[in-house]
Amino acid sequence: MATAAVALAPTADAAGIVLESLLDKAEDLLADGRRAEARHVLEGIVATDVAADDAEGLRVKERSVYRLADILSLEKQVDALVYLLSVIRSFFSLLPKAKTTRMVRKLFDLIRTSGASLDRQMEVCSDMIAWARQEKRTFLRQRLQHRLAEVQFARNERQESLITLQALLREVRRLDDRALLLDIHLLESRIYYSIQNISKARAALVAARTNANSIYCPPLAQAEIDLQSGVLHAEEHDAKTAFSYLYEAFEGFHQLGDQARQARKALHYMILAKIATDSPDELAALLSSKKCAGVQGAGHGCAPWCGGGLQQPGHTFL
């Protein structure tokens, strides 16, 4: 990534204007399909120091980080994304905690979806946790530890993930950070379900829902809660209730627009719930609905199989 900073005028207002014009130039280059040139301009903006009192400059630099990250993600540039995350650390000190957390989460998501191995994700997460601890950035460090637990779970290191979460839980409970408590308990429920400790999975989900009810619950978190609720009700052989929760989860993921993978997962479970309740007509209506058709992309194999099965004489659902 380019390291040369943009030459700025003496005042903060002028600095913001210069950066704004450069961002506009980058957007024009992107519109013309000149991605490499746009990336170079954005790298220059990101490398530019901005004063703490330069509200416009901070806003433009923040937008530029996201724009550059999107380009790097499209190009599957994992190393460049990791480097971007490291070079903007000093910028975090100028942003509100919530914006910093949102930016780190977005970059981690892009690193993951760009093809970073779980080992690489673990390495990046551990490095960022060490930095946050050194800088005494408790709010960010706690959320990074939650992300670390997610990566450990993805690596099938379930006990290690639970140990990470339980240590974090003791700390976060004292601070009464209910948004983070929600995320911790939801992940905890998924882990316990994966090791078939259903009673603890259910208790963790109840704790997640309790915290969700006491704060503004983001739509993604609500959809995840509904998905886990559906899974646990299915485990108890209550397919009708499971379907209701799964449908709410599907609606939530679908409305977000960028959660196609999770929407497909919810749809898979909805199909299984209809099979379990021996409801072929309802299943046919489900598969032919506009929303379901919209998420039947790559990796969705249930709909074609079920659709064919419905046409067979004497078809029964097990």
List pLDDT tens digits, range 165-200: 999 999 999 999 999 999 999 999 999 999 999 999
Tokens standing for 61?
């630099």
Give pLDDT, residue 273.
92
Q: Cα–Cα distance between 116 and 77 in angstroms, integer?
A: 9
Q: CA dihedral in degrees (72, 78, 80, 83; nearest 10)?
A: 130
Residue 256, amino acid = L
Q: Cα–Cα distance between 248 and 10 in angstroms, integer?
A: 54
The per-residue b/e assignment along 298-308, b for 16 or more CB within 10 angstroms, e otherwise, is eebebbeebee
How many Cβ atoms are within 10 Å of 153's Cβ, its own excluded? 20
Using alpha carbons, select from 216, 233, 312 the residue that is nearest to residue 276: 233
Residue 13 is given by DSSP the state H
What contacts 122, CB < 8 A, 6 or more positions away? 148, 151, 152, 155
8 A C-beta contact, residue 156 and residue 118: no
Q: Cα–Cα distance between 73 and 115 in angstroms, integer?
A: 9
Give pLDDT, residue 10.
46
Report the Cα 283 to chain-centroid distance in Å: 30
Give pLDDT, residue 295.
66
Could you give the maximum distance between any two Cα atoms of the chain, in Å? 81
The DSSP element (H or E) to which 204 belongs, if any, is helix 198-213
List pLDDT tens digits, range 192-223: 999 999 999 999 999 999 999 999 999 999 99
8 A C-beta contact, residue 285 and residue 306: no
Residue 223 DSSP SS3: helix
Counting as low any pLDDT under 70, the low residues of the chain are 1-14, 294-318
In the block, tokens 């600095």 appear at 15
Q: Cα–Cα distance between 163 and 266 in angstroms, integer?
A: 28
